[in-house]
Structure 1
Amino acid sequence: MISSIRAAYNAAFTPERYAAFLAKIDADYPGQLDFRVAETPVFVPKLLTDKLLSACDDIVATITRPDYKALTMAAIPPHQRVPNETPHTTFLAVDFAVCQNEQSGELEPQLIELQGFPSLYGFQAYLSETYRANFPVSDSVSHLFGVDTNANYIARLRNLILGDCQPEEVILLEIFPEKQKTRVDFALTKAYVGIDAVCLTKIRKEGRALYYEKDGRQIRIKRIYNRLIFDELEALPDLKTDFQLTDDVDVTWVGHPNWFFRISKYTLPFLNSPYVPKSYFLSDLTELPVDLDNYVLKPLFSFAGSGVLIHVTPADIAAIPAAERGNYLLQRKVRYEPVVTTPNGSGVKCEIRLLFIWPDSDDKPQLITNLARLSRGEMIGVRFNKDFDWVGGTIAFFEQ
């Protein structure tokens, strides 16, 4: 999107350099990268950056409303409500499609989803350095906000996750972390923050205290950097664990599980911004939009795009029982513009996820880094982009 930087990057790109780039990641973290990393970063011009920041201001204004917790109380399924909820989320991820405004012709963001849940905060710092080490990336662009170096970024991330605890008193919680597609991020979090990824099945509970074993010692868990979502547990109904997420335990949550539900698609109908497509709870609609083909149907709490219908018909709506319609959302479609130019001149669609942290001492979340995803398919996501090149996970560098 920044034409001069894109031209220089594409001119220098070769399949051999890309292979060396991937080999470097595998050499540093053998066998840990389990998703496709794209051939290129995204280079974002200042005009689009300013619009992204404006869109985020609109969203933050909603989630910092005094009545926001009351507004989203029904978002949390009663059987999945976790005690000792924090006053606000610790993490915020906001996904935007890069689109073209039909009137002005300018590029603009359109919100796709948002999550009160951590993303690849470790891997993205490493990925930015690895792109720069292997390809020409101008010093006039940065992947960071509010900090000027990866070292300062990592220091802030470390302080946020550890608080006043020692690293071994803090765990990254997942279910079977060694099998997760995002396990490379767990490895980078270990490298940067010093904490281990621990499986839920390995945690022992005594009263309200939690423990895990390390080097033959039972270590008391004081803080949990939560990367586990209930979707994964629901898929394992026979899983036996000593600790249930809904137990009342003496730990501090770094990313309390309730915020995964509160800041989610459930929030979309409450947002008001030129950069947020209109969204409606299906249960609130007394009649369907006459242009239903311009909407997508989304389950409120699906993950990674599962269950989304992009070609909705009245029959699809009719098939949903009235009692379940509160769990679905109709969202106006957006048209991704193929803004990333490849060396052969074809265009690739782009989604930018802006990543925030919200320390307890701050009055609102702070934008700090990002990730991006490239797609040639009908939707962003692995299953829509099989056998394509110049697609996958990446990072955006923003014009300063």
Structure 2
Amino acid sequence: MESSARKAFNDNFTPKKYQVFLDALNKGLKEPIAFRVAETPVFLSDDFRDKLLVAGEDIINVILQPNFKELTERAIPEKWNVANENDHPHFIALDFGVCKDEHGNIVPKLIELQGFPSLYGFQIHLADTYQKAFEIPDNQTIYFNHLGRAVYIDLLKKTIIGSHHPEEVVLMDVNAHEQKTSVDFYITQKLIGTPVISLEELIEQNGKLYYESRGAYKPIKRIYNRLIFDELDGDPDIFNKVVDIRKPLEVEWITHPAWFYRISKFTMPFLNGDYVPRTQFLHEVKQIPADLDKYVLKPLFSFAGQGVIIDVKKGDIENIKDPENWILQEKVNYEPVLQAPDGGVKIEIRLLYLWPDGDTKPTLAINLARLSRGKMIGVRYNKDFDWVGGTVAFMRK
């Protein structure tokens, strides 16, 4: 990590500045932010940024392979097979842990990946607020590929809205207005004009979708999809209550739900390289490794770390009845390289890509970062800690 920027930030940090930052971050929002935002951004060195670029490019090249859909067909659960899949994902997120290799070098290691949107709107607001509240120099940026704020927003519009009118494109999630990430939904609405609606608010007439606005039905040409089907899994009667979005409808998906499954843990065994942990489908493991303490066992079809076995025993593997739906992955050990006032903190960096229709490949655009002191990244493992939570990474322009 970049040491001079870190020292300058820490030397000038005070709890009062952090509170002023939080107040500014929440100012003008419909509701206070529902997740913890860290005291600090991350400052990337040029060397680590360049390693991230190489790591990301290697993974994107696999996704661009002509046979990628064929490789990942089994990834889509039959009950969540949605009609009208398109030919590419519009969003790709790659999560890297900041680690130390066998030579003592600080390197990124892939943790997970997803063909699904992330906080593409909120991260702009977060970075702007950090920069102002903590006087981060203008030569620092959160954008890749020489993008600036305005050009990034144009790319976001091009990806989500395309040739349509903003009112014809809806950001949709189950219980959208109550989601923890709804702050991102409403910031996105301010940036590009897309209405925010819940799954329950969709109206179908003769295979076409509408939403109600000011007493009139407005046609929906595109859905900016923020819905993860795992959240519907507990209600087998859900599509008796709301529109069955799996069936053929006259609507475009940005991005289609199939890509959430295709670009996921399922993709990991097809990846190679210095920045990818060795990963195998469990049913293809010919011999259980003797050093199981160096591996983690993950179910393919779970969300937010549910079902992951960190301290793997031989019996755990032998007791799994559907090994084709699990992966055995080399354990990634985060290195606490971010220096807080009272010790080291672990970092995870998410590279966020945008891929509008008409482009030949995705563009690495922006990033998200998370800080942790717990056993794993995530809120449930970091209660009672400070200098943890959601943040963003700055790097030199």
Match of 1:343 in 2: 341
Amino acid in the other structure paired with 1:119: S
Match of 1:101 in 2: 101
Work out the CA distance in 2 between the residues paired with 1:382 and 1:287. Answer: 35
Most deviating of 28-37 and 352-361: 28-37
Match of 1:212 in 2: 211
User: 1:268, CA displacement in angstroms?
Assistant: 0.3
Match of 1:359 in 2: 356
Match of 1:63 in 2: 63
Work out the CA distance in 2 between the residues paired with 1:56 and 1:311. Answer: 28
Contact 1:122 1:192 in 2 (8 A): yes
Work out the CA distance in 1 between the residues paired with 2:326 and 2:396. Answer: 38
Are residue 224 (structure 1) and residue 195 (structure 2) matched? no
Work out the CA distance in 2 between the residues paired with 1:228 and 1:148. Answer: 28
Are residue 74 (structure 1) and residue 74 (structure 2) matched? yes
Contact 1:8 1:136 in 2 (8 A): no
Are residue 376 (structure 1) and residue 395 (structure 2) matched? no
Corresponding residue pairs, total? 396
User: 1:256, CA displacement in angstroms?
Assistant: 0.6
Most deviating of 82-91 and 29-38: 29-38
Q: In structure 1, the residue corresponding to 2:241 is in which secondary structure?
A: coil
User: 1:124, CA displacement in angstroms?
Assistant: 0.3
Amino acid in the other structure paired with 1:145: F
Contact 2:147 2:365 in 1 (8 A): no
Most deviating of 301-310 and 33-42: 301-310
User: 1:284, CA displacement in angstroms?
Assistant: 1.2
**How high is the TM-score relative to the length of structure 1?**
0.97
Contact 1:295 1:312 in 2 (8 A): yes
Unaligned runs of 5+ in 2: none
Match of 2:331 among 316, 330, 333: 333
Unaligned runs of 5+ in 1: none
Q: Percent identity of the aligned residues?
A: 51
Runs of 4+ in 1 over 6 A off after TM superposition: none
Contact 1:205 1:242 in 2 (8 A): no
Q: 1:68/1:148 Cα in 2 relative to 1: closer, same or farther (>3 Å)?
A: closer
Alignment of 1:303-314 (within 5 A): 303-314=303-314
User: 1:100, CA displacement in angstroms?
Assistant: 1.1
Q: In structure 1, the residue corresponding to 2:132 is in which secondary structure?
A: helix
Are residue 288 (structure 1) and residue 285 (structure 2) matched? no
Work out the CA distance in 2 between the residues paired with 1:198 and 1:308. Answer: 32
Work out the CA distance in 1 between the residues paired with 2:367 and 2:96. Answer: 11
Work out the CA distance in 2 between the residues paired with 1:116 and 1:307. Answer: 21
Q: 1:385/1:157 Cα in 2 relative to 1: closer, same or farther (>3 Å)?
A: same
User: 1:147, CA displacement in angstroms?
Assistant: 4.2
User: 1:302, CA displacement in angstroms?
Assistant: 1.5
Match of 1:5 in 2: 5
Q: 1:136/1:106 Cα in 2 relative to 1: closer, same or farther (>3 Å)?
A: farther
Match of 2:299 in 1: 299
Alignment of 1:1-400 (within 5 A): 1-103=1-103, 105-239=104-238, 240-321=240-321, 324-344=322-342, 346-400=343-397
Work out the CA distance in 2 between the residues paired with 1:221 and 1:390. Answer: 42
